[in-house]
């Protein structure tokens, strides 16, 4: 299969023809919004960097004549692209997607990855539209927490979507080869002609916010699934989240929470049943709670074990708790087990 060679040519022509005067930009012909098969509004695109140094870009999405959403992306190196796919579950009804925007800051300490996609017969687009391939670490050092990104195109180079590998690539040693798979949104799978603009980066994390004990509580997640923060219960110890996995294959999610206490022990229930999860602390002192998700699922999730700071604050929107049982709020002992995907860019240490 020789589509891998031709796709790079198509991508280069498209990007060079767009806004050649800009230093860091999002080509308008590679910027699309759509409702996926599970009804989640999703914005996809690619940021191109023609600066002489690495940058950390932040995408600015404008919807419905003024409503803005911002998302920081992984570092993009000079003359490289970083594709992005940002779900916005709170958007419903008619949507007007405004022109793309991007701001950026210099990343003076970033080093380019020596991990590359292998362009040979192992890079295959399958009959259902998904892609499988291999990456290799050509450097001399171990690399951690990598993602493989690609733009997805249809007939006549039309930009359709962005793909991100499903696997948890916690680390890759020098010379090591690792398999990856990438699944498209099912509604566009039959229209795919090729994948393009392969990029190796770290995680694209999505920021969520709610209120806990009367104060704003920001947290983040990394996943191919989409999540909405419903809120904390009155005790401030149980966080309610809605999750949607639009893909038919299982995936994982890694939530990142600010630490209240090193004594916090988290548990996870999904649709009322306890599930295995992995709890860890990253180098910046944030908690990470990771667990697997079934394919094509819509889930009611409760993460318990947050330490109560002493104040009480009601859940942001009690109407959103329809379908949640009070039983869900009963703390369940944290399960730390093998076989659970867990993903953090920095080397974590497992919680005691």
Residue 323 pLDDT > 90: no
Read off the pLDDT of each residue in 193-200 and give the average, rounded to a whole number: 87
pLDDT at 195: 95
Read off the pLDDT of each residue in 178-205 and give the average, rounded to a whole number: 88
**Are 282 and 333 in a shared domain?**
yes
**Are 187 and 236 in a shared domain?**
no
Structural domain total, the chain:
2
pLDDT at 92: 85
**Residue closest to 74 by CA, chosen among 254, 171, 185, 203:** 203
**Are 197 and 211 in a shared domain?**
no
Read off the pLDDT of each residue in 229-235 and give the average, rounded to a whole number: 95
Residue 106 pLDDT > 80: yes
**Are 99 and 173 in a shared domain?**
yes
pLDDT at 66: 84
pLDDT at 9: 37
**Are 221 and 172 in a shared domain?**
no
pLDDT at 6: 42
pLDDT greater at residue 329 or residue 246? 246
**Are 188 and 286 in a shared domain?**
no
- What are all long-range contacts of 280-286, with beta carbons under 8 Å and residues at least 24 apart? 280/342, 280/344, 280/348, 280/349, 280/350, 280/351, 281/348, 281/349, 281/351, 282/256, 282/344, 282/345, 282/346, 282/347, 282/348, 283/346, 283/347, 283/348, 284/346, 285/259, 286/256, 286/257, 286/258, 286/259
Q: Among 186, 201, 216, where does a domain finish?
A: 201
pLDDT digits (tens, 9 = 90+) for 335-350: 222 222 233 334 444 4
Read off the pLDDT of each residue in 184-212 and give the average, rounded to a whole number: 87
pLDDT greater at residue 206 or residue 325? 206
pLDDT at 320: 44
pTM over 0.85: no
**Are 13 and 112 in a shared domain?**
yes
**Are 190 and 138 in a shared domain?**
yes
**Are 187 and 270 in a shared domain?**
no
Q: Among 148, 167, 201, where does a domain finish?
A: 201
Q: Among 175, 201, 227, where does a domain finish?
A: 201
pLDDT at 241: 97
Domain span at residue 230 reads: 206-350
pLDDT digits (tens, 9 = 90+) for 208-222: 999 998 899 999 998
pLDDT digits (tens, 9 = 90+) for 125-182: 999 999 999 999 999 999 988 899 999 999 999 999 999 898 888 899 999 999 999 9
**Residue closest to 10 by CA, chosen among 198, 190, 180:** 198
Least confident range from 32-41, 105-114, 321-330: namely: 321-330
**Are 224 and 300 in a shared domain?**
yes
**Are 232 and 291 in a shared domain?**
yes
pLDDT at 22: 57
**Are 243 and 183 in a shared domain?**
no
């Amino acid at each position: 299969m020789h589509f891998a060679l031709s796709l790079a040519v198509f991508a280069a022509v498209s990007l060079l023809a767009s806004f050649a005067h800009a230093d860091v930009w999002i080509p308008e012909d590679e910027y699309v919004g759509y409702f996926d098969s599970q009804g989640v509004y999703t914005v996809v695109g690619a940021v191109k960097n023609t600066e002489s140094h690495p940058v950390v870009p932040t995408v600015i999405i404008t919807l419905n004549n003024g409503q803005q959403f911002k998302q920081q992306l992984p570092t993009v190196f000079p003359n490289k692209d970083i594709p992005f796919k940002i779900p916005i579950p709170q958007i419903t009804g008619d949507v007007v997607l405004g022109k793309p925007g991007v701001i950026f800051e210099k990343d003076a300490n970033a080093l380019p990855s020596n991990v590359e996609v292998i362009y040979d017969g192992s890079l295959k687009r399958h009959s259902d539209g998904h892609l499988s391939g291999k990456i290799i670490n050509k450097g001399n050092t171990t690399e951690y927490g990598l993602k493989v990104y690609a733009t997805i195109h249809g007939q006549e180079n039309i930009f359709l979507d962005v793909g991100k590998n499903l696997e948890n690539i916690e680390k890759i040693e020098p010379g090591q080869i690792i398999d990856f798979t990438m699944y498209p949104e099912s509604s566009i799978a039959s229209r795919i002609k090729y994948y393009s603009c392969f990029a190796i980066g770290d995680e694209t994390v999505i920021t969520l916010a709610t209120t806990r004990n009367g104060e704003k509580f920001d947290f983040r997640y990394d996943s191919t699934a989409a999540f909405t923060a419903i809120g904390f219960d009155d005790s401030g110890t149980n966080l309610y989240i809605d999750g949607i996995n639009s893909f038919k294959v299982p995936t994982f999610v890694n939530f990142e929470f600010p630490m209240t206490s090193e004594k916090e022990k988290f548990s996870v229930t999904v649709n009322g049943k306890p599930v295995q999860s992995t709890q860890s602390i990253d180098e910046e002192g944030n908690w990470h709670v990771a667990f697997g998700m079934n394919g094509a699922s819509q889930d009611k999730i409760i993460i318990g074990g947050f330490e109560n700071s002493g104040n009480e604050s009601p859940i942001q929107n009690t109407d959103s708790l329809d379908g949640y049982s009070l039983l869900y709020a009963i703390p369940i002992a944290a399960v730390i087990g093998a076989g659970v995907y867990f993903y953090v860019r920095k080397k974590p240490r497992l919680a005691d």
